[in-house]
């Protein structure tokens, strides 16, 4: 996914290369030929840019995803949504990231809930921010619910640039979770792509 995002940099470099290529060729050309060459270069650059953007969008999961670096194998959850809940009365807003629809009773597993607070006004403006979150994880319907220990929080680092207008990417570090049966789960970091849900007031 991240390698696909790098295609946009390649397109910029290609556009500059095309422009530099046209100028030397233009030295022995008429004004009309120069203009035609420039238009051809612009068209090729635009087509390549469109192709790169479409390639990125094709590789982005439509429903988002979260990767948890567990041992011995990472777990990928193919769904993740983020919303910002406005509390009002001067209190911080609530950031909530879920791998399930909170308003429905049906659940798919593994299941993750991240819950934190921020003074940021909109979800999109979380880009580049760090938010300390409580972390809840349940492997299956029969598994205990594991969560951050009292007084601890997981720092979610939102990336400064977004892959699309309706999604945010973020990374997080190592955290120990305590299960409701007193078991311990160690998560060795991870990353997420969360689809932005409509702000809730």
Both structure tokens of 50 = 């469109």
Cα–Cα dist 196/155, whole Å: 19
Stretch 24-42: mean pLDDT: 59
Strand partners, 113: 98, 136
Q: Give the pLDDT band (50/70/90) at residue 24.
A: very low
Max mean pLDDT among 33-37, 55-59, 106-110, 196-200 falls in 106-110
Cα–Cα dist 175/185, whole Å: 8
- For the cut 60, the answer to whether the pLDDT of residue 198 exceeds it is yes
In the chain, DSSP assigns E strands to 65-68, 75-77, 81-85, 93-98, 111-118, 130-138, 146-148, 154-158, 167-179, 184-196
Question: In the chain, where are the structural domains located?
Answer: 2-59, 65-196
Q: Which has more confidence, 28 or 98?
A: 98
Helix (H) or strand (E) holding 100: none
- For the cut 60, the answer to whether the pLDDT of residue 161 exceeds it is yes
- For the cut 90, the answer to whether the pLDDT of residue 79 exceeds it is yes
Cα–Cα dist 134/126, whole Å: 17
- pTM more than 0.75: no
């Amino acid at each position: 996914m991240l390698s696909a995002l790098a295609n946009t940099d390649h397109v910029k470099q290609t556009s500059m290369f095309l422009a530099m290529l046209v100028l030397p060729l233009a030295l022995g050309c008429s004004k009309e030929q120069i203009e035609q060459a420039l238009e051809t270069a612009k068209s090729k650059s635009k087509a390549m840019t469109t192709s790169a953007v479409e390639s990125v969008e094709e590789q982005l999961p439509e429903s988002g995803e979260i990767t948890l670096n567990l041992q011995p194998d990472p777990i990928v959850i193919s769904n993740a949504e983020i919303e910002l809940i406005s509390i009002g009365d001067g209190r911080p807003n609530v950031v909530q990231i879920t791998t399930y629809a909170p308003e429905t009773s049906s659940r798919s597993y593994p299941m993750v809930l991240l819950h934190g607070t921020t003074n940021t006004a909109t979800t999109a403006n979380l880009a580049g921010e760090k938010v300390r979150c409580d972390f809840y994880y349940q492997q299956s319907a029969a598994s205990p619910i594991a969560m951050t220990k009292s007084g601890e929080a997981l720092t979610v680092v939102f990336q400064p640039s977004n892959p699309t207008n309706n999604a945010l990417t973020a990374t997080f570090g190592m955290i120990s979770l305590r299960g409701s049966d007193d078991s311990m789960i160690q998560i060795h970091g991870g990353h997420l792509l969360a689809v932005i849900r409509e702000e809730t007031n």
